[in-house]
Amino acid sequence: MPHCRWFLRVFLFALGVFFGVSSSLVSAGQSIFAVPAISTSKNDGQDFGLIVPVLDSDDEGNLVSLMAPMVIHNSFLGVRGTMNYYRYWSAGRQMEFVGSYTEEIERKLKIRYQDPGFIQGLFFLDVGAEFFKNATKRFYGIGQTTPESNESNYTSREIGVQWSFGVHLNDVTRLMIGQRYRDVEVQPGGVRARPFTGDRFAGLTGIERTAILANRLVFQYDTRDNLVTPTVGTRAEAYAEASHNFQRQSLNDFVYFRYGLDVRALFPSPSKRMILVVRGNVQLSFGDGIPFYERSSLGGQHNLRGFGEDRFVDRHLVSLNVEERIHVLGVRFFNVNVEFEVAPFVDMGRTYNDFTFRQFNEYEVTPGVGFRGIVRPNVVGRVDWAYSKEGGAVFAGLDYPF
The Cα-based distances of 248 to 20, 261, 368 in angstroms read 60, 28, 41
Is 129 part of a structural domain of the chain?
Answer: yes
Residue 118, amino acid: F
Q: Is residue 9 part of a domain?
A: yes
Q: Which CATH number fits the domain that encloses residue 344?
A: 2.40.160.50
Judge whether 251 lies within some domain: yes
Kindly state whether residue 69 falls inside one of the protein's structural domains: yes
The verdict on residue 33 lying in a domain is yes
Identify the pLDDT of residue 115.
96
Q: What is the pTM assigned to this prediction?
A: 0.85
253 in a structural domain: yes
Owning domain of residue 348:
2-397
Q: Is residue 50 a contact partner of residue 43, using CB atoms and an 8 Å limit?
A: no
CA atoms within 13 A on the CB side of 210: 28
Instruction: Give tens-digit pLDDT for 171-224.
Output: 999 999 999 999 999 999 999 999 999 999 998 999 999 999 999 999 999 999
pLDDT at 222: 97
Beta strands per DSSP E along 196-293: 210-222, 233-245, 255-268, 274-286
* Distance between CA atoms of residues 112 and 222, nearest Å: 22
Q: State which residues of the chain have pLDDT below 50.
A: 1-24
pLDDT at 34: 77
CB 258 within 8 A of CB 245: no
Q: Is residue 124 part of a domain?
A: yes
pLDDT at 252: 60
- Omega before 377 within 30 of 0, i.e. cis: yes
For residue 402, being part of any structural domain is answered with: no
pLDDT at 340 (0 to 100): 94
According to DSSP, residue 23 is labeled: -
What proportion of the chain, given as a percentage, has pLDDT over 70?
89
Give the gyration radius of the chain's Cα atoms.
Answer: 21
Distance CA 80, CA 189 (A): 16
Based on the structure, what is the number of domains in the chain?
A: 1
